[in-house]
Amino acid sequence: MIRNARLWLACLVGAAALLGGCAKAPLASAPRAERAAIAERLTADIQTLASDGFAGRQPGTPGGQLTVDYLTRRFAQVGLTSGTNDPGNPWRAPVALTRYQADRGKVEFVVEGRQVELSPLEAIAVTTRKRELIADAEMVFVGYGSPAIATGDVMGKVVIMLSDDSLNPERRILLETKQASAVIVVPDVESALEGGFVFRVRQATSRERVSLTGEIDEAFAVVADRKAMARAFGIARWDALVEAAKADDFAPVAIDAIANIEARSNRRDFTSYNVIGRIAGSKPEGNPDTGAVLLMAHWDHLGMCRPEGVQDRICNGAIDNASGIALMLELTRRLAAAGPFENDIYVLATSAEESGLLGAQAFAANPPLPLENIIAAFNFDSVALAKSGAPVGFIGEGRTSLDPLVLQVMAEAERDLGNRELAQGFIERLDSWVLLQKGVPAVMLSSAFGSEITLGPFLEREYHSPQDEAAGIELGGAIDDLLLHEELVKRLAIPAQPSP
């Protein structure tokens, strides 16, 4: 395995800079007929992946499975072999995921023999587990949740905690560590009506989420409206508790009432897949100077993103990110035809990017090669926006040793650098960010992110909506970007020398 890929890359970049005056400069653009052929192939892949038949490419759905099947075939067609390095799972690296969504909850008190159930607008109980049930629990009022509260005062009890900023997660978590059965947070704001704080919490927690299986933040939270609590316990009694909580010497007060709280979530475990291909390098495995270049793009999108009854329910994701996958496939086809190369080229189509870069995280946790052997990673995301000749957004500039080579090849191709501030604003929203955090030189070069004039209208109108369809793609800048990456990868992968 490579002993020092970063040092090796630095030497390569330094040599390229010294020889730049003698090296053959890449074409700023390919001949018109060649560009037309590239556009035709890009369009075919985008139209297929963004068609209604793929139903928005959501992981864990038939459309998601259809996408993985399609990519497996296309990887083989463009000249790749399986890159999982796992004979038991060729092409497809499993990504174990859990989909969960808050379900119905109930908050009920029994006060002086009187049963009081708070309405959905007055209280919410949510959990990421399948079910939380607290029955006939004693209650204690802890004011604003001072850290000095003793464990014995709250252990096994339902705690009522005031919140003067409507959040206070640290104080709530501290009470949970002291073994409170549940903490009911009561914001110090009016919120009984629709649009209030409880309603906003319900809206925020009602959408479906996806996490890597085993990495869900197990959580249980209860929020109740201040007026509802006054109704449940009596206005005078509640006002007295709130007033007492303001005192510096306030001590927890036992409440002569019991609580019944139930929260549920719909949870489903399923397996999606990253699709991984490889163009094998000519250097034998185990050669200390062997490195690898990684190309990556996410295949997933949002699926059925609108409710039943809406005429167009599907978020097809033509630009985001059928276009990135299509560009990566075409680039791979050209590289495979141009080889052989000394270094490996890996090609990665990730799942569950839209859910939080989860496929990239799964790849980084269980890569088919040591991450330190990856000398460069290039990400492709939402590429079909800019016209030919548009400036390049360099996402990751200044964070890796790739800068000199990237800027040199851009200059040779007569490509201008785009808006730096705009580009850097997206760095943590891309799959490449996961690898960058692991020390992999990972960047994204895209004319789509070079100018607010290009990117802004897409973000305002089509982004994550049913309007992101194949009819709206613009391939001029994407083809420019493809040719730029082709030259970069060729220099990094190094054309193999003929045998003597």
Residues 397-422: what's their mean pLDDT?
97
Q: What is the DSSP letter of 484?
A: H
**Residue 175 to residue 139: CA distance in whole angstroms:** 13
pLDDT of residue 188: 76
- Give residue 374's pLDDT band: very low, low, confident or very high (50, 70, 90): very high
What number of helices (H) and strands (E) belong to the chain? 15, 17
pLDDT of residue 168: 65
pLDDT higher than threshold 90 for residue 204: no
* Structure confidence by residue, pLDDT tens digits, 481-498: 999 999 999 999 999 876
Question: What's the mean per-residue pLDDT of the chain?
Answer: 90
pTM: 0.85
pLDDT of residue 308: 85
Q: Are 445 and 296 in contact (CB under 8 A)?
A: no
* Structure confidence by residue, pLDDT tens digits, 217-243: 778 889 999 999 999 999 999 999 999
* Structure confidence by residue, pLDDT tens digits, 60-71: 999 999 999 999
**DSSP codes of every residue in 89-151:** SSSEEEEEEEEEEEEEEEEEEEETTEEEE--TTTEEEEESSSEEEEEEEEEEE-TTT-TT--H
pLDDT of residue 287: 61
3-state secondary structure of 228: helix
Residues 111-122: what's their mean pLDDT?
93
- Integer-rounded Cα Rg, in Å, for the chain is 28
pLDDT higher than threshold 80 for residue 290: no
> What is the percent of the chain where pLDDT is above 70?
90
* Structure confidence by residue, pLDDT tens digits, 468-478: 999 999 999 99
pLDDT of residue 37: 97
pLDDT of residue 283: 82
Range with lowest mean pLDDT among 7-21, 23-37, 137-151, 191-205: 7-21
pLDDT higher than threshold 50 for residue 14: no
Widest CA span in the chain? 96
* Structure confidence by residue, pLDDT tens digits, 174-198: 999 999 999 999 987 654 445 577 8
pLDDT of residue 167: 55
* Structure confidence by residue, pLDDT tens digits, 86-97: 999 999 999 999
